[in-house]
Structure 1
Amino acid sequence: MSLRPHVDFHQGTVRLFGLSARFVEKALTDVPLVWDEREDCYRADAMHADAIRQGLEHSLAGRFDWRVGRDAGAAEFRSLAVNDLRQVTLRGDQQQAVKAFEDGGRRGLVVMPTGTGKTVVAIELMIRCQCSTLVVVPVRDLMYQWHAKILEATGIDAGLIGDGVHRVSPISVTTYDSAAIHMPRIGDRFQMIVFDEVHHLAGPWRSDAARMSIAAIRLGLTATLPGDDQRTERLQQLVGPTLYQQSIAEASGKSLADYSVHRIAVRLTDDEQQRYRDYSRQIQTFVYQQREFDPQFKWDDTYALSAATKQEPDRARDAVIAMRAFRLKRQIEEHADAKLRMLEDLFRLHCDESVIVFTGSNVMARKISTRFLVPCLLSHCGKKERRQWLQGFAEGRYRVLVANRVLDEGVDLPEVKTAIVLGGLSSQRQAVQRLGRVLRKGTGGRRAKLYEVVVEDTREVTRSRDRRRNEAYRQKR
């Protein structure tokens, strides 16, 4: 090694120059480095920067140049004072989460139900760490929400990266998509990174937001971890192990309001029932015919088969017809007249309360909105419209707010103690997120209620059972 070794940041990776293969194999065994023949250097994802630095300091005793984050544009990010303007005392569970994170090496996941103050925990850790921090969130609404909370707690006007804004500051907030796009250029700026609703990070595209950052301090926040072990393992690789976990059942009646879950079954009309059976028979006949042709055929193969119009035109046509029958069958479940009648009864029962209605589709959300003349909040609503509906709901000018998925997670809502679920996925995570919308502990100790309206003798019953396997539902229904 005739030249003094040095390390720099380049397009979301760190490059190691002047190191021999023998040295790398001995000193950096646990770091996934690859040799880049184009530039005669070793390379690794930026997320391994801290491990590389520790390995070099141990083996070279400072005889190397660390150029990561040392360019002129990054100078202001190296030293930072974060003031504490809050006048709040952390609850016991929040203090436990903070301590678990610090004792766990300041890398890992904190799992707490919606409404228990995950943001409070994150801001406490930001103030303690006193370093440049990037907060990554799933949607624009949350980006502005975090900006307001950081400003209130620290007096810092955080940078914004997303929604047409690109203002990078030592404390900044961005969305997952914007982070994945811009991290090759800003990945060496931040020493701490916070992933809100961290389950969104597990996908192949959004995970780049973690891989291309040098941040040694990594905090992942969520109310529910992914259901499959593979995605959870990926989060633990990108952020760290689960350091603190609290369930809704543990928080109920303490940091969250006590609650009850009511499942209401309704029936299809004779006409709806007949059409539902006809579509079911179409689907069953199609699957039977395809298994005669291919014994390994599964319904999940239908979409791919529908695209094979050149190779197998007849089978592709049958697949398209079956998929149409499947969609129409789901529409009958979603738009059943009995659901709307039951919804009207529940509105009367809770006429003096604020109510959130969750649907399984945008079409159903609009249908309820026009029938009952209540605001409808969808993912494609403009920023001004969203603010208007949420503010009116918070002020009590609107008693009911209807949404499909846009309120499932993250967005702060006023104290609401009644939610009605008229449809959705079989996902336990979605079910827990929706339950969490009504569990914030407000004044008066009011009990929260969640109603789940399902259509008997349909697939909705199965999806409901899948959702309710979570302990938060099993103990309170």
Structure 2
Amino acid sequence: MPCAGLRPYSPNCLVRTVPPESSRSLQRGDSSSISHVDFHEGTLRLRGATRDIIQNQLAGIPLRLDSRDACYRCDAMWAAQLRIQLPEPVEWRVDEFIDSFDNLKMTDRRKIRLRADQLEAVADFESGNRRGLLVLPTGTGKTVIAIELILRHGASVLVVVPVRDLMYQWHDKIREATGIDAGLIGDGVHRVSPISVTTYDSAAIHMPRIGNRFSMIVFDEVHHLAGRWRSDAARMSIAPIRLGLTATPPTDTDRLAVLGECVGPILHQQSIANAAGKTLAEYVIRRIAVRLTPDESDRYRQLSKIVQEFVYHQRQLDDSFRWEDVHKITAAAETDPQRSAEALQAVQAFRAKRKIEEQADAKMRTLEDLFRLHAGHPVIVFTGSNVMARKISMRFMVPCLLSHCAKKERREYLAGFAAGQYPVLVANRVLDEGVDLPEVKTAIVLGGLSSGRQAIQRLGRVLRKGDGSRATLYEVVVEDTGEVQRSRARRRNDTYRR
């Protein structure tokens, strides 16, 4: 992976003209010693290092020659390893901010004690050189474990989360546990403190300037870090202590390798199946099959025929064609207008099919029956689109939470749901992960992805132990449609086979 600070999109990396003799001296290996190491725009700069030192004494650290600045560079995350391998005493200007940031006085204000399984996760992290992933189901207290580790660390910490709701949630929990008003970086706020909370996108943007201020970094829902852009949030930080929290680590080996490099290996893992009945509630998954009306079924078959005929013709032209390639064809309107128009028609038919699956009349009738069955108990409804969420909200006069809802609106709905003011809460994806919910034992899934990750996250919303009663997740699918295949894909995960 190339050095983050040398990538084309890094606008703040200064490009200087280096005297030719300086560049040649660095590459030649003339006798000289490293004068100093400093932090610059998410990278470490080594001044005065020769090629012999880089190749022999600093082997294993991906240092690259930057002829623009007459130095060698590597991503800031290599700071701890670099300091160990430096061949001689060197002026170390990397963590100047940390000295002042680490002078913290944290008070443990918690009123809870960690369970045995939580203490086991803490011990595994500390014995794993305090660098790695803890994989725990939703509802088992990942945040509680992280705060325990933050208190034990007792120094500067940056917590990175996927969405702004979680940023404020973490801020509140840190204040409750330590009495510290943590800094916030994101959602229009830029207040950097010794303990701060930010989002993944804000971290990737601001890490070139704050990457040398924290000695510990916590990645909540760490599977979000595996992308090329977001992983720079880890690469540009010098923090030697790295904690990743997730219920659903990537199954793709390449993405898991990115997490291994940027955060560390999996140090502790627990499945929902193992936790059910112990730290989580016992649960059952009920699958309810519904049918389309005659009109919906006729329309669905017409649309399916359009999609099938288009795919057939494309595979006659190119036997490697996959449906995912259709958008490339629609974009070729100038070079092949007829084929592009056919592709556009197929895409529109595909989306219309999904709409029929998502908004089938039978789903609404089934939903009404389930509401009656669980009257007096809180229920969460998960949909596959914002349109369906709004449709349910309007028909049953219940609140729906969408990704673009304002912070005040979200807090009001969640507080009202917790207080019993709202018996039902409807959401598309905004409640799939992270956001703390009151104890709920019933969830209804009316649509969504085939992803096992989303399935597990949604199940986890109803598995908090609470009063010990059993949790139920209803999965409503339309027979003889693509929803059946998506449901089967979700059931390939052992957790979902109940």
- Aligned-pair identity in percent equals 67
2:32–2:49 contact (8 Å) kept in structure 1:
no
2:381–2:425 contact (8 Å) kept in structure 1:
yes
**Given the alignment, which residue of 305, 325, 328 partners 1:304?**
328
1:286-337 CA-to-partner distances (Å, cap 9, x unmatched) read 1111222222222111111000011111100000000000000010100000
**Given the alignment, which residue of 423, 446, 463 partners 2:469?**
446
For 1:193, the equivalent position in structure 2 comes to 217
Write the mapping of 1:64-103 to structure 2, written as runs, cut at 5 A: 64-70=90-96, 75-103=99-127
**Given the alignment, which residue of 9, 16, 23 partners 2:53?**
23
Q: Does 1:128 align with 2:152?
A: yes
Q: Does 1:119 align with 2:143?
A: yes
Q: Distance in 2 between matches of 1:399 and 1:304?
A: 45
Structure 1 residue 84 displacement after superposition: 1.5
Q: Distance in 2 between matches of 1:74 and 1:250?
A: 40
Q: Does 1:421 align with 2:445?
A: yes
1:228-285 CA-to-partner distances (Å, cap 9, x unmatched) read 1111111111100000000001111111111111000000111111111111110111
The amino acid across from 1:167 in the alignment is R
For 1:350, the equivalent position in structure 2 comes to 374
2:156–2:214 contact (8 Å) kept in structure 1:
yes
- Secondary structure of the residue aligned to 1:161 is strand
For 2:25, the equivalent position in structure 1 comes to none
For 2:261, the equivalent position in structure 1 comes to 237
The amino acid across from 2:348 in the alignment is R
2:32–2:50 contact (8 Å) kept in structure 1:
no
Write the mapping of 1:184-263 to structure 2, written as runs, cut at 5 A: 184-263=208-287
For 2:82, the equivalent position in structure 1 comes to 52
For 2:65, the equivalent position in structure 1 comes to 35
Write the mapping of 1:356-375 to structure 2, written as runs, cut at 5 A: 356-375=380-399
For 1:466, the equivalent position in structure 2 comes to 489
Q: Distance in 1 between matches of 2:56 and 2:45?
A: 18
Structure 1 residue 35 displacement after superposition: 0.5
The amino acid across from 1:404 in the alignment is N
1:388-420 CA-to-partner distances (Å, cap 9, x unmatched) read 111100100000000000000000000000000
- Secondary structure of the residue aligned to 1:381 is coil
Q: Distance in 2 between matches of 1:29 and 1:458?
A: 56
Q: Does 1:455 align with 2:478?
A: yes
The amino acid across from 1:160 in the alignment is L
The amino acid across from 2:279 in the alignment is S
Q: Distance in 2 between matches of 1:120 and 1:386?
A: 23
Structure 1 residue 4 displacement after superposition: 5.4
1:354-380 CA-to-partner distances (Å, cap 9, x unmatched) read 000000000000000000000011000
* Structure 1 unaligned blocks of 5 or more: none
2:98–2:156 contact (8 Å) kept in structure 1:
no
For 2:21, the equivalent position in structure 1 comes to none
2:235–2:262 contact (8 Å) kept in structure 1:
yes
Aligned residue pairs total: 468
For 2:44, the equivalent position in structure 1 comes to 14
The amino acid across from 1:468 in the alignment is R
Structure 1 residue 80 displacement after superposition: 2.7
The amino acid across from 1:197 in the alignment is E
Q: Distance in 1 between matches of 2:111 and 2:442?
A: 30
RMSD: 1.0
The amino acid across from 1:409 in the alignment is E
1:420-473 CA-to-partner distances (Å, cap 9, x unmatched) read 000000000000000000001112x11110000000111101101111211111
Q: Does 1:142 align with 2:166?
A: yes
Q: Distance in 2 between matches of 1:390 and 1:117?
A: 19
The amino acid across from 1:290 in the alignment is Q
For 2:362, the equivalent position in structure 1 comes to 338
The amino acid across from 1:455 in the alignment is V
Q: Does 1:404 align with 2:428?
A: yes
The amino acid across from 1:134 in the alignment is L
Q: Distance in 2 between matches of 1:135 and 1:427?
A: 27
Q: Distance in 2 between matches of 1:130 and 1:151?
A: 14
Q: Distance in 2 between matches of 1:4 and 1:348?
A: 74
Q: Does 1:169 align with 2:193?
A: yes
Q: Distance in 2 between matches of 1:104 and 1:81?
A: 26
Q: Distance in 2 between matches of 1:378 and 1:19?
A: 53
Structure 1 residue 78 displacement after superposition: 3.6
For 2:417, the equivalent position in structure 1 comes to 393
For 1:153, the equivalent position in structure 2 comes to 177
- Secondary structure of the residue aligned to 1:344 is helix
Structure 1 residue 74 displacement after superposition: 5.1
- Secondary structure of the residue aligned to 1:114 is coil
- Secondary structure of the residue aligned to 2:196 is strand
- Secondary structure of the residue aligned to 2:439 is coil
- Secondary structure of the residue aligned to 2:239 is coil
2:35–2:91 contact (8 Å) kept in structure 1:
yes
* Structure 2 unaligned blocks of 5 or more: 1-30
Q: Distance in 1 between matches of 2:343 and 2:289?
A: 32
Q: Distance in 2 between matches of 1:185 and 1:30?
A: 26
